[in-house]
């Protein structure tokens, strides 16, 4: 039921999404728009008692909050809003004040905002001796409204983040991290693996690793192995070459520094999962269909 409510909220917010911030073209200077704001509670409901606390033009500082009125469709609307970039703040009884940027550059602009907000914690998954762990959030873009809340982050902490789905990009002096972040609870923890900068691709792969699969049973084929980063979006796949009840595979790639899992997968699902160190010297041997291979979570 909660999943249905979240899907409803996201679909509604997408309908009321403002275009991404950009410079106003010279020929649109002096133009104005009709702006409509719909307020959500972050879990599928529409808020009907919200108020616009601020709708301030970031360039001129002009405040237009008093221009917004609640109409019959439960939207907060204002007319003759000059084109430009604004900071919107809304409040509703029982919720903290929420804010987001709004770019007005069309005749009609629909804006969605969730008044339920979260604190987002960013954690680095590694600690290299002699290096700084300082990094910056380059972007934290809402997928539905296409607005960026990178400015809400101070170092590793993001405050007053409205519920929604975001694309995060973090820069570190050793590399970068990019990932999707779902914000649908008061405290959100995001563990980041930094994809470090490597040598030129022309120098060849950094990893060539062989392995063996044993106790393959009828119906397991086709059989694949997948190397996946635990806290970053890297994967490497190989097909297992099967002879009788055993098979071999080889992983060749340019993997970044970090923690990995090795999955053995067939049409039946995941047959084995284990921690994997690409720097180990001995070939890995996976024996399938034992009690130690996969423990599935119950819910």
Q: Is 1 exposed, middle or buried (0-12, 13-18, 19+ CB in 10 A)?
A: exposed
Domain boundary assignment for the chain: 2-115, 118-196, 205-287
- Beta-carbon contacts of 138 under 8 Å, excluding residues fewer than 6 positions away, are 150, 169, 170, 171
Residue 44: closest CA among 184, 186, 158, 157: 184
Each residue's pLDDT tens digit in the chain (299 positions)? 444 444 434 444 444 544 444 556 554 567 999 999 999 998 888 998 899 999 999 999 999 999 999 888 878 999 999 999 999 999 999 998 999 999 999 999 999 999 999 999 998 876 444 445 678 999 999 998 789 999 999 988 999 999 999 999 999 887 888 899 999 999 999 988 877 755 555 555 667 788 999 999 999 999 999 999 888 888 889 999 999 999 999 988 876 677 889 999 998 899 999 998 877 777 789 999 987 777 665 54
pLDDT of residue 132: 57
Kindly state the tokens that stand for 133: 């762990």
- The second-level CATH assignment, the architecture, of 2-115 is Sandwich (2.60)
Residue 114: closest CA among 147, 81, 77, 153: 147
User: What digits encode the pLDDT tens for the residues 272-299?
Assistant: 999 988 777 777 899 999 877 776 655 4
- Please state, rounded to an integer, the average pLDDT across all residues of the chain: 84
C-alpha–C-alpha distance, residues 119 and 121, integer Å: 7
Let me know if the fold of 2-115 is the same as that of 205-287. Answer: yes
User: What digits encode the pLDDT tens for the residues 192-236?
Assistant: 887 775 555 555 566 778 899 999 999 999 999 999 988 888 888
pLDDT of residue 86: 97
User: What digits encode the pLDDT tens for the residues 2-14?
Assistant: 444 444 344 444 4
- The second-level CATH assignment, the architecture, of 205-287 is Sandwich (2.60)
What fold does the segment set 118-196 form as a domain?
Answer: Immunoglobulin-like (2.60.40)
């Amino acid at each position: 039921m909660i999943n249905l409510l979240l899907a409803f909220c996201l679909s509604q917010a997408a309908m009321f999404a403002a275009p991404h911030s950009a410079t106003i073209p010279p020929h649109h200077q002096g133009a104005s728009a009709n702006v409509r704001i719909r307020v959500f509670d972050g879990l599928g409901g529409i808020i009907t008692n919200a108020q616009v606390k601020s709708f301030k033009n970031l360039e001129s500082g002009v405040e237009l909050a008093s221009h917004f009125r609640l109409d019959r469709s439960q939207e907060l609307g204002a007319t003759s809003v000059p084109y430009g970039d604004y900071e919107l703040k809304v409040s509703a009884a029982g919720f903290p004040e929420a804010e987001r940027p709004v770019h007005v550059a069309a005749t009609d602009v629909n804006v969605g905002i969730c008044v339920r907000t979260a604190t987002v914690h960013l954690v680095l998954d590694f600690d290299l001796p002699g290096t700084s762990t300082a990094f910056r959030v380059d972007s934290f873009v809402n997928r539905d409204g296409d607005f960026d809340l990178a400015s809400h982050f101070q170092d590793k902490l993001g405050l007053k983040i409205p519920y929604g789905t975001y694309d995060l990009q973090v820069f570190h002096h050793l590399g970068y991290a990019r990932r999707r972040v779902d914000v649908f609870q008061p405290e959100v923890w995001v563990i980041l693996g930094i994809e470090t900068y490597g040598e030129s691709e022309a120098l060849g792969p950094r990893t060539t690793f062989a392995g063996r699969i044993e106790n393959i049973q009828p119906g397991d084929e086709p059989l694949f192995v997948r190397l996946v980063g635990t806290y970053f979006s890297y994967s490497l796949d190989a097909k297992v070459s099967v002879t009788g009840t055993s098979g071999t595979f080889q992983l060749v790639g340019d993997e970044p520094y970090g923690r990995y899992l090795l999955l053995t997968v067939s049409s039946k699902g995941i047959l084995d999962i284990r921690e994997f160190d690409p720097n180990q010297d001995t070939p890995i041997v996976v024996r399938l269909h034992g009690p130690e291979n996969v423990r599935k979570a119950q819910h």
